[in-house]
Every structure is written in C-alpha cells, then in structure tokens.
Amino acid sequence: MIEKGTVPLQCLCLDLNAVVTPDHCRRLVVIIVFQVTSVPNFPLKATSDICPGKDIKEDMVHLTLFPHIHAMFYSQVFLFALSVIFGLVLSAKADAVVYEGRVPLSFANSDLDTSTGPFLTAVKGSEAATHYSQVLGNSTAPTSLWASTLTEQVISITIDNTSVFVPGGGAPQNGFRRTELIAQNKSLSTSLNDVMEVGVTRFHFSVKENDQLPLNFTHEYQVVFIEPSDGTHVFELQIGTPFTNPTQSLPSSDAYALKIRDHSLNLLFSTDFTPSTWHNFAVQVDWDQRTLQVFYSTDGETLEAVTDVVQNSSAGQGATGEGDFHFGVLKLPLVNPDDSTANQNDVVHFGIQEGTTEGLLYSGIFVETISS
C-alpha cells in the first residue's frame, strides 16, 4: 500500500527478464501507480528502473496482478505499461556490430605489419608496425566484459623515440610521439565510416596500463578518438596533464585520470586510471542530432551510463563530421622555452619529448549500431 495524502494507491508490477549478453540489462521493473477508483480512464503515472540503452526482449514480459485491484483497470494499466516499457527500451536498442576489433587467437602479429584484418597500421614511426604494436595471445587476459561471448587477444601499443609519424606529403610530426591503429574493413563495398558513422552508433573500447612501460603523466596523451579531416576529434579519451603554453605545474591534479572530452574539449566524464584494472568505455554518438553519451565500467562489470545525452554541436555534420576511429598512444610534447613563440604553439612539429618507451593495453574494441 502506498499513500498519497489520504488517497489509497496500489501497485501493478511488470517484470522483464532476458537472456542477454553481459552488456545488457537483465531485469527491468516498471511500477504503474494508480488510484483505486471506479472512475474510468483515471490518469496513470509511471516510474521506471531501467538500464539506459539496453536490449530487453518483448517476448519476456511477465505480469503480476494484485487480486484486490478492480478488474476494470487491468487492460488500461497493461497497455499503458507496455507503452512505457517499449517506448523506453526500444529507444536505445543495440542492433548489430558494424566494426569488430576484438581479434581472435588466430590473428597473428604479422597481420599488423601488412594491415591485414581490422586495423590499418600506418600511423607509426619508421619501424615495422610490430615494433610498436603486438597481439599478446594467451599471455595477458583481456577485459572479462565479453568473456562469455567470445575469446580475444589483448593488443599492446607502444611509442619510443622513433615514433615520429610522417603523413603523406607532409612534414615529420616531430612534436608528437604516436602509434595508432585505425579501424578498417576491406570487405565492405563502401567506406567503413559510411557504415559506422550514421544514425546512432556506440564505440566500445577497454584500456589498461602497461605496468612495464608506464606513461609520463606530465604530458598529455590522446589515446582514443574519431578524427575528421580537419584534425579535430568528435570525442577523445585523454590521459595525463593537458598541454598548456606556458607550461603549468606538472603533473596536473587530474593527470592520473581517464578523461572523456567532447569536440570542444569539454570534460564529460573522468575516473582514476587505477592500475591492474580494465577500464571499459562505450561512447554513443548520434550523428544526426550531434549528441554524445558515455558508458563506463571496470573489468567484468556491466557498462552503465555515466552521463546523460549531451550536445556535441560544435562537431561537423554529415560527411564533414565523419572521421577515422583511432586507438593507441599519441603523446603531446612539453613547451620548449628555447623555441620561438610561433613554434611553441605548434605542438605537432615542436616541443620536448624524452624519447622513452611507453605503452597501453587494449581490448574490447568494436562498434555497434543503436536503433530508436
């Protein structure tokens, strides 16, 4: 019995139970609260306990009726409840994986050298791709978030002082040290971006420290991002001390945090980069409405929304807003006081780099479509 003033109220509960993957909600309960009265069409009110963006199957509806509730309300309440449930659940339903970067044990390191399979390995230094990136076989456990559905290998990505990328027709990027894998699918008849960056899609990635090759947190690292042709990022995962000119106190107070930023570099979500932990992310992009939503968990825990749907309106729209999906290690420099004023602001080509070997571990890389 629930009291609202002096008016007695009763509850009708609908439970949905689904056998789904670990990323999906296993239970949803909608409570319909209504007044016990003989007046037909009395307004109903609903509240919900729902995991955002999860797939609940319609055929698993289970209805519990309280026998002392007047029968005239059953059909009205039931139909109303279904409209609430399916209006909420189906608005964020995972449909299909459109990019799969969780590599099986059959994937070989030699495939990285030839950009065979799901990764383009062009963003690196002068050495072969396997000098900077390797799959680790059974030696290192991936995130356990997807362990019940597939077996995958961890990918190790590193940088050293040779990690100077030279873009086609451009000058060497001496200010950066970078190694990145770019999502690709050569089997498609169209560009992967045309499939991956339309409607609403969710970009999954899990990152873990490489305790043998730690980062230098006095620097800024941009490690996961979508990069349109103008060099901006639709969103990015950032670690370390954000680049400033002049250089501020090092390291910054948030240097040891994983930070998701939007196109305008506004901070959407931050969490400590705790060691020996897989940090699982999913960033949902609505390419038409230009919005973002962030999901997060650790190790084998189910992903949960950690932000609301937020505007990303500074990002480009249509083809101009599309870009390649990168993950890896991109290390920005510190300002060199001996450089000219102009060069101090040119982080791509100038600045201080120590040349140390550093790295990160990745797993759980894939992209799925979300229907509404």
Task: Please report, for the chain, the start and end positions of each structural domain, with discontinuous segments joined by +.
Answer: 2-93, 101-371
Sign of CA dihedral 129, 135, 139, 140: positive
Radius of gyration of the chain (CA): 24
Residue 104 to residue 106: CA distance in whole angstroms: 5
Burial of 6 (0-12, 13-18, 19+ CB in 10 A): exposed
pTM over 0.95: no
Interatomic CA distance for residues 94 and 369, integer angstroms: 6
Counting every residue written for the chain, the total comes to 372
Task: Please state, in angstroms and rounded to a whole number, the distance separating the CA atoms of residues 361 and 363.
Answer: 7
Contact 235, 285 (CB under 8 A): yes
Backbone phi, psi, residue 320, to 5°:
-70, -20
Q: Rounded mean pLDDT of the chain?
A: 82
Dmax (CA) of the chain: 84
Q: What is the pLDDT of residue 92?
A: 59
Q: How confident is the model at residue 372 (pLDDT cuts 50, 70, 90)?
A: low
The percent of residues above 70 in pLDDT, for the chain, comes to: 74
Residue 189: per-residue pLDDT: 78
Q: Is 86's pLDDT higher than 60?
A: no
pLDDT at 16 over 70: no
Q: Which residues pair with 49 in a beta bridge?
A: 29
Please check whether residue 331 is in contact with residue 358, taking contact to mean a CB–CB distance below 8 angstroms. Answer: yes
Contact 369, 284 (CB under 8 A): no
More confident residue, 85 or 171: 171
CATH topology of domain 101-371: Jelly Rolls (2.60.120)
